[in-house]
Each structure stands twice: as C-alpha cells, then as structure tokens.
Amino acid sequence: MARRRQREGTREVKYVYVYLIATVIFLGLDALWLGVVAKNFYQAQIGELMLDKPRFGVAAGFYAIYVVGLLYFALVPALNEGSLPKVLVASLLFGFFCYATYEATNLATLRGWTNAMAAADIAWGTVLTAIAGCVTYAIVQGIGFWHA
C-alpha cells in the first residue's frame, strides 16, 4: 500500500513537471508569435477589436486550461507508449480542432473577423501545439524521468 502511494505521488510529480515544461514552451513560442512575428498582421486584421492592454488574467486561464488538454490528449498517452509519432499527430489534431473551433465561432459571430485572420490563427495554433508537444516530449524523454 505504501509503495503504491509512493508510485502515485511520483506520477503526480511527473505530470506537474511535464505541465511546467509544456507551459514554458507554449508560452514562449506564443509570446514570440503574438508580440513580434505576427503583431502587425493582427493589428491590420483586427486592430479595431483589440484592447490597448491584454487581459492577462484571462490569457493565463486560457494557457492553463489549454496545456492541461495538451497533456491529456497528446503528451501523456504518447509518453506512456514512448511514441513521438503519436505526440506529433495528437498535438497537431488537438491544436487544429481547438483553434478551428475558436476561429469558426469568431467568423460566425463577430463583425470584422477576417478569413485571413482565421486561416493564419488556425495554422499557427496547429503548428504551435505540435511544436510544444513534440519539444516537451523530446525533453521529457531526454531527461528520462517518465518511466523511471
């Protein structure tokens, strides 16, 4: 019984580490995209809809929830199987479905939301999620603590 609790505690710690690694990677890449690479594009496409200052609390909530989904649907199953192709496909699909849902909703409900904006955001969300999933997987496998 004590060994089982020890293993379960270790598993929970592993989930926390994987979550933190994935969050840092996802946030870093998305900050680079939003703040540098695509900043002018977003301003040109939806500038009139943008706030002067983002609501960072809301953004933090999104990232916290989204990375949990990435772990649940892509990273943990792939780490359990030791499969990079699995994390690649699952991350791509998770990113695509989440970002496509958001963009389709915006196109259906907001004036001024453009097809170009939707296409770029879906592409970025798909690629971002796949990169975050695969890099996190590679780091965790490289450290070697998942199956330890």
Residue range 117-127, pLDDT digits in tens: 999 999 999 99
Instruction: List the domain boundaries for the chain.
Output: 2-143
What is the distance between the alpha carbons of residues 37 and 133, in angstroms, rounded to a whole number?
Answer: 21
Indicate the DSSP class of residue 12.
H
Count of other CB atoms within 10 angstroms of residue 142: 8
In our burial notation (b when 16+ CB lie closer than 10 A, e otherwise), range 66-75 reads bbeebbebbb
pLDDT at position 140: 97
What residue type is assigned to position 17 of the chain? Y
**Distance between CA 103 and CA 115 in Å, rounded?**
9
Query: 85-97: buried (b, 16+ CB within 10 Å) or exposed (e) per residue?
Result: ebbbebbbebbbb
Average pLDDT, the chain: 94
